[in-house]
Amino acid sequence: MIYLDNAATTFPKPDAVISAVTDFLTKCGASPGRGSYDSALHSSEILFRCQENIATLFSIPSPERIVFTKNATEAINAAIFGTVLPGDEIIISSMEHNSVMRSSHEATVRGAKLKIAHASPTGKVDPSSIERLISNKTKLICLIHSSNVSGTINDIHSVLSIAKKHNILTLFDLSQSAGIIPIDASLFDMAAFSGHKGLMGTMGTGCLYVREGISIKPLLYGGTGSYSESARMPDFFPDLFHAGTLNAPGIAALNEGVKFILREGVYEKEAEITRYLYDSLMNIPSVTVPGERERTSAVSITAKGFDPIFIAHELNREGICVRAGLHCAPLAHRTLGTIEKGTLRFSPGFFTEKADIDIALMSFKKIIEK
């Protein structure tokens, strides 16, 4: 099998990630933040270590403000519904994933107003186009760091400066950039990311980072193992967001994934394999690759006269895993001009070799030549 769907979730995982799950389930097994016996304390310790390692990776000043969710979608929902009130305005871009698009649409059902900044045909959002949409009602700017369709990387730091100038909150969706390109989140207000993509953890993990000083309501209410006598949620992080038993085996795995990235410095290898894929695709006549060469590892294409779903199906028969269609981002396809049939997406990861790309593209060429 040649796996080229790392933008959906990374595979394979580092050995340490796999052992973390089995070690947790065979040697620890206790719920974090609940008991005071040794294995329960060890379980809590894993959680703290994971927060610390993520904080190190992203230069986040306060690890306790990183909360665990079940995926990036939950983190995005928590950020939007925790800060936006009826009457507030949200600005998003035309490159957003449905996790942002649908939750901000739901916010409009609850009385907020949505404004959309249109990106260029390569998927880049001009920060000034966001600034032009700001009004005195704008509460939140929510922007994708890097597109899951075209890999286009947005200048989130310029957007952050604009937002700070106008005293507006920002939420960056780092789902396609966390663990793929270096990120300095030290000045971010809020950031959401998956644990199972570039950070190499397992499915069922994601995170929301909320800067100190931001007032936010939790998405879930329930037991935290702390201040149990009170009917209210604890007002401190991370407990405010940790209602219910957490996915401790998943967090143990995520911790190892993040340590792997810190140890191996994966960025250059991923960038190189992505450039190799991009250049190889650009050399195939009849193939169009929307976006820019400098990108994260989502490389979507269209091939003249071909349905991406047909090609993905044919590639699957040869053991090559790629994704076709709209990739949960219809607005992005409208922006890139690929809404009609969507795209065929190749997304390599840290473990992808050039030989994998060569084999996949040989099969691809055979299909379109036939």
Ligand X SMILES: Cc1ncc(COP(=O)(O)O)c(C=O)c1O
Per CB under 6 A, residues contacting ligand X are 8, 71-73, 97, 99, 144, 148, 173, 175-176, 194, 206
Whichever of 223 and 244 has its CB closer to ligand X, that residue is 244
Distance CA 321, CA 253 (A): 24
Distance CA 109, CA 316 (A): 40
CA angle at 153 for the pair 175 and 340, rounded to the nearest 5°: 85
Whichever of 28 and 159 has its CB closer to ligand X, that residue is 159
Whichever of 178 and 357 has its CB closer to ligand X, that residue is 178
Shortest distance (Å) from residue 100 CB to ligand X: 7
Whichever of 178 and 216 has its CB closer to ligand X, that residue is 178
Distance CA 18, CA 322 (A): 23
Shortest distance (Å) from residue 143 CB to ligand X: 11
Q: Which of 13, 51, 55, 102 is nearest to 255 (CA)?
A: 51
Shortest distance (Å) from residue 137 CB to ligand X: 26
Whichever of 63 and 201 has its CB closer to ligand X, that residue is 201
In three-state secondary structure terms, 320 is strand
Shortest distance (Å) from residue 213 CB to ligand X: 25
Whichever of 10 and 71 has its CB closer to ligand X, that residue is 71
Whichever of 176 and 224 has its CB closer to ligand X, that residue is 176
Side-chain-facing half-sphere of 338: CA atoms under 13 Å:
32
Whichever of 197 and 211 has its CB closer to ligand X, that residue is 197
Shortest distance (Å) from residue 98 CB to ligand X: 8
Shortest distance (Å) from residue 338 CB to ligand X: 16
Distance CA 305, CA 53 (A): 47
Shortest distance (Å) from residue 207 CB to ligand X: 10
Shortest distance (Å) from residue 329 CB to ligand X: 7
The burial of 230, by beta-carbon neighbours within 10 Å (0-12 exposed, 13-18 middle, 19 or more buried), is given as: exposed
The burial of 252, by beta-carbon neighbours within 10 Å (0-12 exposed, 13-18 middle, 19 or more buried), is given as: buried
Q: Where are the alpha helices (DSSP H) in the chain?
A: 15-23, 38-58, 72-83, 98-109, 127-133, 156-165, 248-264, 267-282, 308-317, 330-336, 354-369
Q: What is the DSSP pairing of strand 138-144 with strand 169-173?
A: parallel
Whichever of 43 and 152 has its CB closer to ligand X, that residue is 152
In three-state secondary structure terms, 148 is coil
In three-state secondary structure terms, 313 is helix
Shortest distance (Å) from residue 203 CB to ligand X: 8
Lay out the sheet containing 287-288: strands in order across: 287-288, 299-303, 343-346, 323-325
37-64 as b/e, with b when 16 or more CB fall inside 10 Å? eeebebbbebbebbbbbbbebbebeebe
